[in-house]
Amino acid sequence: MMPIIKTVKLDGDDPPEAKVVCFNFKETLKSLLLDEELMQPENLMINADDPFTKYESPDGMIDDVLSGYWYHKTYDTMVQISDRKFVCPLILFADKTHIDSLGRFGVFPVSYTLDIFKRRVRANPKAWRHLGFVHDTYQSAYKKLERKKVEIGRKCRNLHFQLHAILGSLIEVHHGICGIPMKLQIKNYIKEVLVRVPIAFIVGDCEGNDKLCGKYSSHSLGTGRISRACSCPPENADDPYHICPLNLQKEMYKFIQDSNHSQLKSVAVHKHDNVFFKLNFGYNKHGTYFATHADMMHAFQSGVMKYVMEVFVNQLTVKKENNLNSLLMEFLPQLRQHG
């Protein structure tokens, strides 16, 4: 698959445009679905009697997207008439990562895999395909501006301008009615299908997912809201009884289009043309606001668990703390550190 270089006009004149590396979605999808090594039955979540029908968990357990509520409602919505439709949800990854030890240089890939692959297969890089790479326009711009303050929202707008180019071929597929025609073979079954590819969720960290939703990266008390998923203000974040109005994608689209800077600031959202408003999230009326899940490291491991342990351990005397430590070492010896 040869990359496509697209020239994207940016907000501002430093730089005025960016060269963005993109890949065609249909071509990358076919390279996955026609890969004989990946499409082996033991690698797929499929029904044994008919691999092209709606997946049903053999033991009735909910342990992946295809055994959950979203997939089943999405399938019923998409497959109403034609039995040729093959629903194949996407998992996107979109996040910047550093590629040098000092963190001065980074790369921002936009990639995806298929949710019909089992979890162990999705851990294999061969099961992923790139859709493009976001160009970092601000490294050189900051040098020229001597790190002067960039106009508020410009980074967000330029990110989504580039994402429009990268996800353009997927947007075309999502705006199509029928799906992508393809001849697939799974085991001894061969069938002409129309592949439908709704987005199940997007993998990323807290800061990156906020940018995908057009939200301010700040989570301080002065920020209009603390979460991209709802309108809860920071001062109510520790109130377990606070009712959070959840964001609906259609309502947010209209609000962003119709509101001025002051109104947008009140809910910590930038003025921008969000690319994800043009994509299909299946049976998810909240769109990207719910598809960008909280990452476990920041929200749980370095968040909730950290503070729970601090509160719990701080209440113990030294003797009780030592007793607890001994019990943990006795019951959980595999967690001990060696060396």
Q: What is the pLDDT of residues 181-199, one digit of tens each?
A: 999 999 889 999 999 999 9
Sorted by where each begins, the domain ranges of the chain are 4-214+270-294, 224-269, 301-335
């949800």: which residue's tokens?
A: 89
The winner for highest mean pLDDT among 161-175, 216-230, 232-246 is 161-175
Residue 339: what pLDDT?
36
In whole angstroms, how large is the CA radius of gyration of the chain? 23
Q: What is the mean pLDDT of the chain?
A: 88
Report yes or no: 216 and 270 within 8 Å, Cβ to Cβ: yes
Confidence of residue 146 (pLDDT cuts 50, 70, 90): very low
Mean pLDDT of 90-113: 87
Average pLDDT of the residues in 228-240: 88
| Residue 333: band (very low, low, confident or very high) from pLDDT cuts 50, 70, 90 | low
The residues, any chain, with a CB within 8 Å of residue 144's CB and separated by 6 or more, are: 14
pLDDT at 40 over 60: yes
The residue whose two tokens read 């851990």 is 123
- Confidence grade of residue 25 (pLDDT, cut at 50, 70, 90): very high
The per-residue pLDDT for 129 is 97
In the block, which residue shows the tokens 């807290």? 206
Q: Is a pLDDT exceeding 70 seen at residue 270?
A: yes
| For residue 338, pLDDT beyond 70 | no
- Asked whether residue 102 carries a pLDDT value surpassing 80, the answer given is no
Nearest 5°: the CA angle 332, 335, 339 is 130
Decide if pLDDT at 140 tops 80. no
Contacts of 226 (CB under 8 A, 6+ apart): 219, 232, 233, 234, 237
Give the pair of three-digit tokens for residue 109: 């890939």
DSSP symbol at 64? S
Q: Report pLDDT for 325.
A: 84
Distance, in Å, from the CA atom of 132 to the CA atom of 109, rounded to the nearest integer, reads: 6
Residues in contact with 156: Cβ distance below 8 Å, sequence separation at least 6, in sequence order: 211, 214, 270, 272
Q: Cα separation of 279 and 174, whole Å?
A: 6
Q: Which of 138-152, 210-224, 258-272 has the highest mean pLDDT?
A: 258-272
User: What pLDDT does 327 receive?
Assistant: 86
Q: Are 324 and 331 in contact (CB under 8 A)?
A: no
Mean pLDDT of 142-157: 67
Among residues of the chain, what percentage have pLDDT more than 90? 59
Say whether pLDDT at 120 is over 80. yes
Q: First vs last Cα of the chain: how many Å apart?
A: 47
Helix, strand, coil tally for the chain in percent (to 5)? 40, 20, 45
| Stated pTM of the model | 0.85
Asked which of 244-248, 280-284, 325-329 is least confident by mean pLDDT, the reply is 325-329
What pLDDT does 26 receive?
96
Which carries the bigger pLDDT value, residue 119 or residue 329? 119
DSSP string across 259-290: --HHHHHTTTB-----GGGGS--SS-TTTHHH
User: Over pLDDT 70: what percentage of the chain?
Assistant: 93
For residue 130, pLDDT over 60 is answered with yes
Is the model's pLDDT at 247 over the cut of 90?
A: yes
Contact 302, 308 (CB under 8 A): no
Span 41-66, mean pLDDT? 92
